[in-house]
Structure 1
Amino acid sequence: MSSAFKLGLIITLLSVGIDQAFKIYMVDYMAAYPFGIEVTSFFRLVMVWNSGVSFGMFAGGETTRWILISLSTIISIVLLIMMTRAARKFLASGLGLVLGGAIGNIIDRIHFGRVADFFDFDLIVMRWPAFNIADVAIVCGVAILLVDSLFFDDKSSNNKT
């Protein structure tokens, strides 16, 4: 097992653990605050259940739920395989974050039938849809993967003409 894979696996497990611990706490805690908690003028903690994907797209019933669980599981397996082959810790870290976030949201879909979201930003120009720690892990992981592909991709440096 490579050191890059070990790091990616640790990041995956930490992402899932932090996400799920926070969700367990917040689902119970937010029950007392049905209208949310205003933290600042632009940020609230809320309890939002999302049966779809990003921005609530593809929200639906049980069939949609199991399709999303199946697709997310397949993507997670692909990410895990990619992580086993990652030569760089930076790449494995990005894959680990995306994988951890995906697993966190899969657990929600299986356990609750939908994903628990808590962070609600009301920016001057728009209100951002509520999201959770798993979503943050996925976005950060994708950003790392983008940087890795732009600046550290071995294939692109070997194929220059």
Structure 2
Amino acid sequence: MPESSQPTSQARKGAALARWLALALAIVIIDQLTKIYFDGNYRYGERVNILPFFDFTLVYNPGAAFSFLADGQGWQRWLFTIIALSAVGLIVHLLRKHPNQLLFCTALSMILGGAVGNLIDRVQHGHVVDFLLFYWNSWYFPAFNVADIGITCGAALLILDELRRMRRERQRRAQSDAS
């Protein structure tokens, strides 16, 4: 029997997974390079004004988003490490299972890249390096980094993907009810 020149379904899935992991890796690389730059060129707490509402700064966050559990005496480092490792495993599984769902996998890849970027910081330093600070008058948004941007944008895309899925499902049901 002659071999088919068409790639197998498994090979196509593997190639798609590689593309999604490459996107996550790109986020990790950009995240780590920016953190190395700010950690090496700024003093802790130093702020450099860029715009009337935006500064570069160097702060360390031993907690999670918005400094949640930042004063946890160090145990939170391991809790967030376990959570991140679990998330990495789940995301890779979902990317393998659904490699052709563009929006879903883009979202998961962005979250994966961000989770791994912050995981590297936690393991290496015991805290996450943050350097982007937005504010207005006396209101300050907590400082964040490229990994956080990946996680936030990925979460927004996941919500969009779910809303689109629900809309398609509703349309399918309406069409089947009309038949």
- TM-score, normalised with respect to structure 1: 0.89
Does the alignment pair 1:111 with 2:124?
Answer: yes
- TM-score, normalised with respect to structure 2: 0.81
Identify the range of structure 1 (54-63 vs 139-148) with the bigger mean alpha-carbon deviation: 54-63
Instruction: Decide whether the 8 Å contact of 1:8 with 1:89 is kept in 2.
Output: no
CA distance in 2, matches of 1:40, 1:154: 40
Larger Rg: 2
CA distance in 2, matches of 1:83, 1:159: 25
- What does residue 123 of structure 1 align with? 136
| 1:104/1:158 CA distance change after superposition, 3 Å | same
- What does residue 74 of structure 2 align with? 62
- What does residue 37 of structure 1 align with? 48
Q: Percent identity?
A: 31
Does the alignment pair 1:21 with 2:46?
Answer: no
Higher relative contact order (CA 8 A, sep 6+): 1
| 1:150/1:108 CA distance change after superposition, 3 Å | same
Cα distance, 1:34 vs structure 2: 4.4
CA distance in 2, matches of 1:139, 1:41: 24
| 1:143/1:111 CA distance change after superposition, 3 Å | same
- What does residue 135 of structure 1 align with? 148
| 1:44/1:84 CA distance change after superposition, 3 Å | same
Where in structure 1 are there 5+ consecutive unaligned residues?
none
Matching residue within 39, 63, 66 for 1:52 = 63
Identify the range of structure 1 (109-118 vs 120-129) with the bigger mean alpha-carbon deviation: 120-129
Q: Which residue identity does 2:27 align to in structure 1?
A: S
